[in-house]
Chains A and B, each alone.
Chain A
């Protein structure tokens, strides 16, 4: 077993990045995720693994630094929180359009605008439906524990490189700031230049070698026919993700009459709510989407045939509920319960909402 530690979610992102052989982190401070860069600067990974850590002048610059390094075949990560991710939207769209791999961590806070530094899940739409301009998708992973903050860094990179697509870890201030025990990953060495040439030589812009054509990284295509083909290729990639990469977890669903659907920190609260409801004799289960894109449509559709109703619990005004409604169809009621502004719902409130909105108690 790997090294066991008690750590904050944000610190673990930094540690996992170093250990998985990241070549660089570029970022800009914003609460509640500044510990990511602070931990990296303190760890000085440039001496240990050669990883570059750079505090950029803005989130715009950070994401375009990510673009440049990723295009040269490097394994690169950035992190921010909601307002910073909005600034990154331009670069994220370019990265998706140019089909480059990278990991972006969003430790969400409440909005809109400057909003609050308290936790929120209000960036679900922004993360899963695009966020920037154009038809693109991110691979979106939603950790619900500090352990998953660790695990999803390397998982995010594996998926990002497999599909040449940006992956986002969509978490929030609760998981970023909370301390839990975590088993850290083993070290993976950074790729050498030779290994990068071997693996990504067909596209990486790291200097034209004698044995290959020049590589060009771009999202630009003025010919509409070719541009449509590029779009179709992207869409095929997203369809393949939907077929092959869906991750989710079910709790107490076998005999459930009602289903809670929640991701990230809300799913932790809902686990407790399931216990509370069952103590009251209400048979409740929980489905936790782990990948928000691709979304677990099939398991939700299957459970829609079993349960009498679903309650989607989110720290927002109702975003994932739209995807659950689409997946569940019209045969059963699918309701939403959420708190906003940085308020975290309690398990008791969830059970109350379930009773009021679905059971009619």
Chain B
């Protein structure tokens, strides 16, 4: 058998999603962002909505997300993606809009914007990559940083007396009547990656069906700033993050109360 017999479309079992660009990703090897991007590209492709999807990438390691997926994108200021997405969604009600936000972005500087966008039930998808740290700026404490967790600004571990408590913002979001689907996922094993993809597909379908805000948290690693190997980071996440940020659906009104959601008036 020669190489050309092996590299043959008939033998294809896996391929790069068509919507992923050829640009080299700037993420650290092992970073969760790359996996989430791939899933996002697959879901948009599967739903065939690339011509009507607009992504909003605010400041954070994923600010360059627009380099990697072949759709229209808007880069946004730190924390403001939900407001930017509101502006797009309200004036383009037939389009599918999503934000892609880090935990510093969403739960700290942009806490007001995310709560109000979700509370209004803006028709959009929120992808919330929670790695418990400020990745882009070199690993400072985020509102999601666990008690005792070492970061650049908590060198002796997060101390409640000095820094307050880690914020379970997804639990807050799930309380808001504007959200129809709120879930917490991860992408550290093939099985969880498949589950996360299903959750993303469901969230985008909800946006197509105008069900208000769908919110997908992905508990993630930042092996670079956690100062761990990717494998060790995954283990640390399972052992330390999951007990506090428990994976699973927090709200799924398509199951519990499909009629409860009042669609937005434009």
Contacts and interface: CB of A to CB of B under 8 A. Distances in A.
Interface residues of B, number: 33
Given A61-B86, A67-B84, A206-B54, A72 B92 contact: yes
A52 B91 contact: yes
Interface in A73-109: 74, 76, 90-91, 94, 98
Given A46-B266, A60-B83, A67-B84, A215 B91 contact: no
B236 interface: no
A91 B153 CA distance: 28
Which range contains the number of A residues in contact with the other chain?
A: 35 or more
Interface in B232-255: none
B170 interface: no
B72 A90 contact: no
Given A64-B84, A68-B87, A218 B74 contact: yes
Interface in B85-125: 85-88, 90-92, 95, 112-113, 116
A223 B71 CA distance: 23
Contacts of B52: 207
B83 to A, nearest CB: 4
B116 A69 contact: no
Contact of A65 (B73, B90, B92): B90
Contacts of B84: 64-65, 67-68, 71
B70 interface: yes
B75 A219 contact: yes
B80 A64 contact: yes
A295 interface: no
A218 B87 contact: no
Contacts of B207: none
A210 B51 contact: yes
B206 interface: no
Contacts of A217: 73-75
A56 interface: yes
Nearest to B87: A68
Nearest to B97: A68
A214 B73 contact: yes
Interface in A185-238: 205-210, 214-220
7 contacts: A57-B116, A62-B83, A65-B84, A68-B76, A71-B88, A76-B87, A90-B80
Interface of B: 50-54, 56, 63-64, 66, 70-77, 80, 83-88, 90-92, 95, 112-113, 116, 265-266
